[in-house]
Amino acid sequence: MYKNSPGRPGLVLAVVTVAQFVFALDMSVVNVALPAIRRALGFAPLDLSWVVHVYALTFGGLLVLGGRACDLYGRRRLFVLGLAVFGLCSLAGGLAQAPWQLVAARAGQGLGAAAAAPAALAMLTTTFTEGPQRVRALGVWSAANAAGGALGVLAGGLLTEYASWRWVMLVNLPIVATALALLPGGVAAEARPVRRERLDAPGAALATGGVGLLVFGVVRTDVQGWGSPATLGTLAAAIALLAAFVVTERRSPAPLLRLGLLRSRWVAGANVLVFLAAAGQFSAFYFVSLYLQQVLGMGAAATGAAFLPFSAGLVAGTVVATRITATRTPRAALVPGAVMAAAGLAWFALIRPDGGFLADVLGPSVVTSIGTGLVLAPVAAAATTGISPREAGMASGLLNSSRQLGGCVGLAALATIAAHRTGSATDPADLNSGYALGLAGAAALFAVAAVVAIGALPRRGPETPGPRLAALAENQPEGTPS
């Protein structure tokens, strides 16, 4: 267990917020620039998707490992290392002269983010005490996460159209530099662990391989198809590795993921909920962006600007959720938020081929984004409820991994469903039909998330399970399987 000198909470929050913003930004900023990247570097059509997929593969595959590593070796250390790797790889990507160089840089970005993202959330949850103080901090963190994802579309469009595609990579550098500059004054250096534990190498290999193969199999369905032998074989191998991971963790004296965490209804319910919400949110960004460009004929910059109301609604929703959960349980915001997001996406599914921004996009954008914002902050608070400080990274890695996997799996599944509806059509009316079906699927995911919030999350306050779970984690002797 680590013994740390106190940091400065305000600066800790600033550092974590800036970092989370750039990680979320990088998930979406590249998408609008893909056509320009293909022309500039000479990507083959089927290889271009790897600019997006390899980031999801390394980021999602290594999050659980990154979360546990920051518990064992120091959150501040892992955060600095991960952020530095992320920044250097952003620079390399911006200077890339060949397709393989850009793909390698994107893989490095995912590696750095997988180390820094769970460390950042763990620093936040260990700096702010459980209750209203932590909820407010998580509200700011969630707003940064939401704004980064939504503004990435705007930034990608503006940078691609008025500067160069290279700036969708280079824009990360001043943001990373800001976070690293704030770090020394806000986050105290950690002492060496009082109780040394070894990293669970078998568990790390199985978790990384299993999650990585799962992401790989899912993101390649745009080429291979869900029923192809390659996809089915990859997914079967992923399931086998993850099953072996569960068996290994039950027997490990120092597990990568203590399965006892999932006995908490807060932790288990929040991770299922964030999986579903991320699947719906990522899919909504994707289909709305395609609708604006392929059906309404908007350019890259105009498409980015059309997401501004979405960004504003996400931030507004997180602010409202923070106020609700400051005096009530996370469930009080999660249920209405998921219902509201589902209603907004169902409204979005009514898009028309001859529609327009004001008639078909603005209203559902506001409803969907506010509802999504109501979910983001409380779900992070629920997923870290009752967690011992020495397992904060473990819980943070699990939450981030659930979000990443939800986004990948949900988007791939709904994109396949939409593609079956549209086929090879290029007519706006046919494309509109497929995108509307995808948005209806995203609405269904949020509806299921609302059911999970109602049925899985406790009605009692988050303080109830906290002391029991924290004591269990702190008092469990070494060598005792969870």
Query: Between these two residues, 327 and 237, which has the higher pLDDT value?
Result: 237
Please report which confidence band the pLDDT of residue 156 belongs to, taking 50, 70 and 90 as the band edges: confident
Please report which confidence band the pLDDT of residue 391 belongs to, taking 50, 70 and 90 as the band edges: confident
> Nearest CA to 121 among 204, 13, 8, 224?
13
Interval 443-458 mean pLDDT: 94
Please report which confidence band the pLDDT of residue 197 belongs to, taking 50, 70 and 90 as the band edges: low
pLDDT at 153 over 50: yes
Do residues 441 and 447 lie in contact, with contact meaning Cβ atoms separated by under 8 Å? Answer: no
Please report which confidence band the pLDDT of residue 238 belongs to, taking 50, 70 and 90 as the band edges: very high
- pLDDT reported for residue 384: 82
- pLDDT reported for residue 190: 61
pLDDT at 467 over 50: no
pLDDT at 6 over 60: no
Please report which confidence band the pLDDT of residue 168 belongs to, taking 50, 70 and 90 as the band edges: very high
- pLDDT reported for residue 154: 81
- pLDDT reported for residue 189: 60
Phi, psi of 197 (to 5 degrees): -130, 145
C-alpha–C-alpha distance, residues 218 and 415, integer Å: 11
For residue 44, what are the CA distances in angstroms to 253, 416, 451?
A: 48, 21, 43
Do residues 119 and 70 lie in contact, with contact meaning Cβ atoms separated by under 8 Å? Answer: yes
pLDDT at 302 over 70: yes
Interval 331-349 mean pLDDT: 95
Interval 131-145 mean pLDDT: 80
Portion of the chain with pLDDT greater than 70, in percent: 91
**Number of DSSP helices (H) and strands (E) in the chain, helices first:** 19, 0
pLDDT in tens, 397-421: 888 889 888 888 888 888 888 888 8
Please report which confidence band the pLDDT of residue 35 belongs to, taking 50, 70 and 90 as the band edges: confident
Please report which confidence band the pLDDT of residue 26 belongs to, taking 50, 70 and 90 as the band edges: confident
Three-state DSSP class for 190? strand
Query: Between these two residues, 111 and 9, which has the higher pLDDT value?
Result: 111
Please report which confidence band the pLDDT of residue 474 belongs to, taking 50, 70 and 90 as the band edges: very low
Mean pLDDT of the chain: 84
Interval 437-446 mean pLDDT: 96
Lowest mean pLDDT among 254-258, 386-390, 451-455: 386-390
pLDDT in tens, 286-299: 899 889 988 999 88
pLDDT at 188 over 70: no
C-alpha–C-alpha distance, residues 13 and 18, integer Å: 9
CB-based burial of residue 245 (10 Å sphere; 0-12 exposed, 13-18 middle, 19+ buried)?
Answer: buried
pLDDT at 9 over 90: no
Please report which confidence band the pLDDT of residue 476 belongs to, taking 50, 70 and 90 as the band edges: very low
- pLDDT reported for residue 46: 64
End-to-end Cα spacing for the chain:
17
pLDDT in tens, 38-63: 889 998 876 777 888 788 888 888 88
- Site of tokens 């970005």: 109
- pLDDT reported for residue 192: 54
Do residues 433 and 422 lie in contact, with contact meaning Cβ atoms separated by under 8 Å? Answer: yes
Query: Between these two residues, 305 and 445, which has the higher pLDDT value?
Result: 445
Interval 444-459 mean pLDDT: 92
Interval 357-382 mean pLDDT: 91
pLDDT in tens, 265-282: 889 999 999 999 999 988
Do residues 413 and 305 lie in contact, with contact meaning Cβ atoms separated by under 8 Å? Answer: no
Lowest mean pLDDT among 6-10, 327-331, 336-340: 6-10
Do residues 326 and 140 lie in contact, with contact meaning Cβ atoms separated by under 8 Å? Answer: no
